């Protein structure tokens, strides 16, 4: 038995054979139009998923830096502070008594033992507690970890991003434990 390659020939309704060499222009236009429409629908969905991912990354990043501040305080036997500039994504971890690291808000990102300065993912900003006193555009008072691993007080940090509900982290001062909070807890402002 011999096998034949598929033919480009088609049968019309009368049993005659006609050649079909390629797709018509109309078929190509329809396929390209469908692809453009699907891409147009997928882009906003992808962007919103990425925005949510940035907020989650910000929470994870700050949680890690709070752990750094706690470990530095315990290792070096002196208080370390995590602080941020309200309405921006900039934050810093440094020894509380190191005034040179807290004087300059505009200083470039640095990382050394006991000094970490970084920014949150693009579009994610720190949002100060609405009941807190207004800041001066500099470093907020922040969270201070003591050499025993505890923090001076309970704290609530929130992260805002346009178009999304805020996310946050709660710090329990006595234990130094950090946990995620819901948008409802942020609205009720319950540290």
Q: What is the CATH number of the domain that holds 142?
A: 3.55.40.10
Q: Is residue 122 part of a domain?
A: yes
DSSP state of 85: B
Domain tally, the chain: 1
Q: Is residue 161 part of a domain?
A: yes
Q: Is residue 21 part of a domain?
A: no
Q: What is the pLDDT of residue 117?
A: 86
Domain range for 165 is 55-188
**In whole angstroms, what is the distance from residue 21 CA to residue 186 CA?**
65
Q: Is residue 35 part of a domain?
A: no
Q: What is the pLDDT of residue 53?
A: 83
**In whole angstroms, what is the distance from residue 148 CA to residue 177 CA?**
13
Q: Which phi and psi angles does 23 have, rounded to 5°?
A: -80, 155
Q: What is the pLDDT of residue 173?
A: 85
**Residue 47 or 107, more confident:** 47
Q: Is the pLDDT of residue 113 over 70?
A: no
Q: What is the pLDDT of residue 79?
A: 92
Strand partners, 155: 171
Q: What is the mean pLDDT of residues 62-81?
A: 92
pTM over 0.85: no
Q: What is the pLDDT of residue 131?
A: 45
Strand partners, 172: 177
DSSP state of 109: P
Q: Is residue 43 part of a domain?
A: no
**In whole angstroms, what is the distance from residue 190 CA to residue 154 CA?**
10
Q: Is the pLDDT of residue 119 over 70?
A: yes
pLDDT band at 36 (very low <50, low <70, confident <90, very high): very high
Q: Is residue 33 part of a domain?
A: no
Lowest mean pLDDT, pick from 65-69, 129-133, 153-157: 129-133
Q: Is residue 121 part of a domain?
A: yes
Q: Which phi and psi angles does 89 have, rounded to 5°?
A: -105, 10
pLDDT band at 35 (very low <50, low <70, confident <90, very high): very high
Q: Is the pLDDT of residue 120 over 50?
A: yes
Q: What is the mean pLDDT of residues 60-64?
A: 92
Lowest mean pLDDT, pick from 78-82, 108-112, 142-146: 108-112
**Residue 2 or 24, more confident:** 24
Q: Is residue 16 part of a domain?
A: no
């Amino acid at each position: 038995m011999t096998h034949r390659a598929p033919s480009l020939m088609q049968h019309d309704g009368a049993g005659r054979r006609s050649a079909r060499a390629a797709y018509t222009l109309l078929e190509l236009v329809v396929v390209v139009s469908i692809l453009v429409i699907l891409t147009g629908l997928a882009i906003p969905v992808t962007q919103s998923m990425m925005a949510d991912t940035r907020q989650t990354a910000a929470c994870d990043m700050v949680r890690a830096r709070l752990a750094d501040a706690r470990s530095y305080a315990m290792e070096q036997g002196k208080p370390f502070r995590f602080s941020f500039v309200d309405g921006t994504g900039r934050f810093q971890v440094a020894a509380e008594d190191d005034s040179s690291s807290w004087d300059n808000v505009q200083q470039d990102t640095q990382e050394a033992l006991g000094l970490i300065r970084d920014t949150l993912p693009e579009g994610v900003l720190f949002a100060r507690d609405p009941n807190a006193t207004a800041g001066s555009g500099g470093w907020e008072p922040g969270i201070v970890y003591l050499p025993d691993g505890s923090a001076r007080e309970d704290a609530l940090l929130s992260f805002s991003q346009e178009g999304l509900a805020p996310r946050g982290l709660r710090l329990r001062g006595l234990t130094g434990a950090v946990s995620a909070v819901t948008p409802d807890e942020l609205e009720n402002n319950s540290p």
